[in-house]
Copies of this chain bind each other. A is one copy, B any other.
Amino acid sequence: MGAALPLLSVVLVRTRNPLNIGAAARAMQNFGASDLRVVAPYEASFREARSAVGAGAVLEAAREFANVAEAVADCRLVVGTTAARRRELHQPVIELQHAGERMRGALAEGRVALLFGSEKHGLTREDLDRCHWLLHVPAEPEQPSLNLGQAVAVCLWELARDAAAEPPPPPPEPGAPVGELERLGGLLMEVLQAGGYLHSGNEAGTRSEVRRLLLRYSVTEADTYLLMGMARRVLWKLRGSLR
């Protein structure tokens, strides 16, 4: 990872449930954001969230503001989240999968606020008016509204996901040299021979089947040792039985 979001401020507006404040703080710690701001929270919620066991550094450092205007005063970009694809919204609505790039650009420049409204009513029209643009998490029409803690997690993941941008991992292990696969295949054929599976009608077909499987399975060198060990043991037993 190593891709923190030091200039992101998560702003929770009128949050009611202390568990949601805690969940937001947890997600921030997961994805490297540290500046949590709460606006007019239900008094008890904020107190309870802060005093929860293992509340962590983000909650301890969280700051309380009386209104959104004060909470975002030092930010260069203010983005509000909305479950509505559009109401009579004046601001542009960007879907989450396109929002990351825009926000990352701004985060390279200065502080960015990401606002989440109350569990029940979201952000008010007045809150929204303070936003440069709005972020919408696309979801199923039957259940378009995300739980607050999950919404924070999903948005922060989207911001963090490409920051690392490591190249995709290489395939786990290279296949064994083909010569070794041939030896393994030969041994398996001996097992099938001794086991009575082979007869004149299926021998050639089985041989090419076995070869094909071993190639397709990308059997590794370590696998060949393991499998040859097994096959040899079984073969020894089978041949013993024929004496």
- Identity of the chain B residue whose Cβ is nearest the Cβ of A167 in the assembled complex: B98
Contact B154 A157 (CB under 8 A): yes
Contact B161 A195 (CB under 8 A): no
In the bound complex, residues from chain B placing their C-beta under 8 Å from that of A165 are 97
Assess A23 versus B238: contact at CB under 8 Å? Given A30-B140, A143-B29: no
Pick the interface stretch among A61-69, A114-122, A144-152: A144-152
Smallest Cβ distance from A19 to chain B, in angstroms?
7
Flag whether A108 is at the interface (Cβ < 8 A).
no
- Identity of the chain B residue whose Cβ is nearest the Cβ of A191 in the assembled complex: B234
User: Which secondary structure characterizes the binding site on chain A?
Assistant: helix
Flag whether A129 is at the interface (Cβ < 8 A).
no
Pick the interface stretch among A7-15, A42-50, A88-96: A88-96
What is the 8 Å Cβ interface bit string for chain A, positions 18-30, against chain B (1 contact, 0 not)? 0100010011011
Please report which residues of chain A, range 195-243, place their CB below 8 angstroms from some CB of chain B when the two chains form the complex.
195-197, 209, 213, 216-219, 223, 226, 229-230, 233-234, 236-238, 240-242
Q: Determine the distance from Cα of A209 to Cα of B172 in the docked complex, in whole angstroms.
A: 16
Flag whether A138 is at the interface (Cβ < 8 A).
yes
In the bound complex, residues from chain B placing their C-beta under 8 Å from that of A236 are 195-196
| A234 interface neighbour in B157, B209, B218, B234, Cβ under 8 Å | B234
Smallest Cβ distance from A72 to chain B, in angstroms?
21
| A169 interface neighbour in B94, B142, B162, B240, Cβ under 8 Å | B94
Q: Determine the distance from Cα of A12 to Cα of B29 in the docked complex, in whole angstroms.
A: 24
Smallest Cβ distance from A29 to chain B, in angstroms?
4
Contact B233 A172 (CB under 8 A): no
Please report which residues of chain A, range 113-139, place their CB below 8 angstroms from some CB of chain B when the two chains form the complex.
137-139
Q: Determine the distance from Cα of A144 to Cα of B169 in the docked complex, in whole angstroms.
A: 20
Contact B140 A27 (CB under 8 A): no
Smallest Cβ distance from A86 to chain B, in angstroms?
11
| A1 interface neighbour in B31, B139, B162, B168, Cβ under 8 Å | B139
Assess A31 versus B139: contact at CB under 8 Å? Given A26-B147, A195-B237: yes
Smallest Cβ distance from A146 to chain B, in angstroms?
5
Q: Determine the distance from Cα of A137 to Cα of B229 in the docked complex, in whole angstroms.
A: 38
In the bound complex, residues from chain B placing their C-beta under 8 Å from that of A179 are none
Assess A23 versus B150: contact at CB under 8 Å? Given A138-B1, A168-B98, A223-B213: yes
Contact A164 B138 (CB under 8 A): yes
